[in-house]
């Protein structure tokens, strides 16, 4: 496993699910990790206690708070923007405020966090955004706003990869498929619908996504940038 000893990592949204697995993986590899959360204080405290990472309550829906917090972290070797929300529903009736919030958390926050981090990031730093297979494919109704937000971060990675390439900084998106977390629990009412379009007929594990994050943040991935890495059991294949 790559060693991240001496490296500073910020995970936006690290209290639960995929983000918590990423915090665990980077701390196990020796990194100094800070992570944010917005609501799940108990879960955040547990992850912090278990891993030695530092937790900070910063709502990704608050643009200025995100920018201020990223700036306060100083130079980061790795930024992972994981926090995301999903709102299902008929676009004709879905609450407009919920859609606005989704766009703020899933699109605006990755943009502002990545840009702010890039200002202080040393050469050869790494920026990772957790997107979704729904950035490429929308297998059922009710996902328009979510899918739109996850397509948007593809453009963020492709654009910022160009802007930061001269400094050797890479910017990539990981696109999970159905992954067993609070957001999308295996065994839940959506399971059959989720598995229908997959080649590998099971839910993904948060630890699998974290392993890809560690690889992309490591020295062997220095030539991977502006890329969209699917880890979705074949959903988008």
Identify the residue among 9, 10, 13, 102 touching ligand NDP (CB under 6 A).
13
Give the shortest CB-189-to-ligand NDP separation in angstroms.
14
3-state secondary structure of 152: helix
131-150: which residues touch ligand NDP (CB under 6 A)?
132
123, 182, 201, 220: which one binds ligand NDP (CB under 6 A): 182
Q: Which of 130, 171, 216, 217 binds ligand NDP (CB under 6 A)?
A: 130
Alpha helical stretches, state H, the chain: 17-28, 41-51, 63-72, 96-103, 109-120, 144-164, 191-196, 206-217
What are the structure tokens assigned to 22, written together? 């990423």
3-state SS class at 102? helix
**Least distance (Å) between residue 67 CB and ligand NDP:** 14
229 binds ligand NDP (CB under 6 A): no
In sequence order, the 6+-apart residues with CB closer than 8 A to the CB of 49 are: none
Q: Is 96 exposed, middle or buried (0-12, 13-18, 19+ CB in 10 A)?
A: exposed
The answer to whether residue 176 forms part of the interface with ligand NDP (CB under 6 A) is yes
- Residues that are catalytic: 146
The sheet that has 54-57: what strands, in order across it? 54-57, 32-37, 8-12, 78-81, 126-130, 170-176, 228-231
Q: 137-163: buried (b, 16+ CB within 10 Å) or exposed (e) per residue? A: bbeeeebbbbbbbbbbbbebbbebbee
Does 59 bind ligand NDP (CB under 6 A)? Our answer is yes
Any idea what the Cα angle at residue 72 is, between residues 67 and 77, rounded to 5°?
Answer: 90
- Binding to ligand NDP by residue 118, rule CB under 6 A? no
Residue 27 and residue 49 in contact, taking contact as beta carbons nearer than 8 Å: no
Q: How far is the CB of 84 from ligand NDP (least distance, A)?
A: 2
**Cβ proximity to ligand NDP, 27 vs 82, nearer residue:** 82
Regarding 114 and contact with ligand NDP (CB under 6 A), the answer is: no
The interface region with ligand NDP, picked from 10-18, 26-34, 119-127, 223-231 by CB under 6 A, is 10-18
Residue selected from 27, 172, 181, 236 as contacting ligand NDP according to rule CB under 6 A: 181
Residue from 60, 118, 154, 172 that binds ligand NDP (CB under 6 A)? Answer: 60
Scanning residues 83 to 102, which ones bind ligand NDP (CB under 6 A)?
Answer: 83-85
- Residues of this chain that bind ligand NDP (CB under 6 A): 13-19, 36-40, 59-61, 82-85, 105, 130, 132, 176, 178-179, 181-184
């Amino acid at each position: 496993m790559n060693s991240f000893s001496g490296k500073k990592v910020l995970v936006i949204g690290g209290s639960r699910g995929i983000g918590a697995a990423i915090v665990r993986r980077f701390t196990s590899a020796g990194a100094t990790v800070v992570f944010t959360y917005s609501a799940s204080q108990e879960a955040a405290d547990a992850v912090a206690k278990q891993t030695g990472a530092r937790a900070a309550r910063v709502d990704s829906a608050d643009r200025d708070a995100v920018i201020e917090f990223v700036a306060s972290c100083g130079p980061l070797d790795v930024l992972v923007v994981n926090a995301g929300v999903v709102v299902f529903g008929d676009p004709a009736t879905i609450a407009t405020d919920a859609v606005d919030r989704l766009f703020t958390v899933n699109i605006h926050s990755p943009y502002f966090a990545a840009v702010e981090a890039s200002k202080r990031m040393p050469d050869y730093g790494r920026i990772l955004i957790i997107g979704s297979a729904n950035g490429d494919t929308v297998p059922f109704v009710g996902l328009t706003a979510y899918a739109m937000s996850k397509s948007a971060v593809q453009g963020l990675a492709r654009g910022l990869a160009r802007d930061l390439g001269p400094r050797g900084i890479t910017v990539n998106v990981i696109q999970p498929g159905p992954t067993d977390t609070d957001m999308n629990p295996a065994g839940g009412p959506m399971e059959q619908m989720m598995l229908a379009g997959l080649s590998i007929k099971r839910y993904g594990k948060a630890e699998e996504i974290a392993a890809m994050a560690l690889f992309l943040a490591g020295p062997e991935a220095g030539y991977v940038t502006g890329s969209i890495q699917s880890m979705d059991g074949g959903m988008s294949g």
